[in-house]
Amino acid sequence: MGEGSLGLIVEGLVSTLLVATIFYCISVNRKLERLRDEQKGMHQFIRELSAATSNADKAIQSLRSTVQDSGDELAGQIDKGRNMNRLLQGQIESAEQTMNKLVIMISHTENRSPAQEPQHLMAQNPHVADELRRSMLGFEDLELDAEPEEQLPYDGLVARAKGAL
């Protein structure tokens, strides 16, 4: 066993290490390929996440705009409602004044003799007749969607009006 066999052992050992290195490199290469595939999947996931985030941002901006528009519209409707409420309160007050004047006129009519004419009543109270005409101005154009609560007969209206006095 001389130098030849020692060289043969060394070459055998080197060739064994070389084969082991080749198998190790193949194993590392497979792991690197899996890592590259996972990296591609990760890039795709990041793109999809970015697109979803962008869509969510757009949706949030749209919702904010919608909420703002709805809030502005609601505020306008509230203002219109308040103005209509003020208008109706004024017209209710005017109607109550007219009703009171009618009650006064009816009570004067009930106290007159059958021979008295309505013209005579108006002649006796010209300021009441003028105020009644002025208070009625503007009511002919009033359009209300609401149904009247109840239809009171004439006597019921007079009794109700007298009770309000």
Give me the residue spans of the domains in the chain. Answer: 3-164
49: tokens are 């996440």
pLDDT at 3: 74
**Residue count (the chain):** 165
Contact 97, 135 (CB under 8 A): yes
Supply φ then ψ for residue 95, to 5 degrees.
-65, -40
Spans of the chain, pLDDT less than 50: 115, 117, 140-154, 165
Eight-class DSSP state of 147 = P
Give the burial class of 76: count Cβ atoms within 10 A of its Cβ; 0-12 exposed, 13-18 middle, 19 or more buried.
exposed
In angstroms, rounded to a whole number, what is the distance separating the alpha carbons of residues 72 and 128?
46
- This prediction's pTM: 0.41
pLDDT at 98: 87
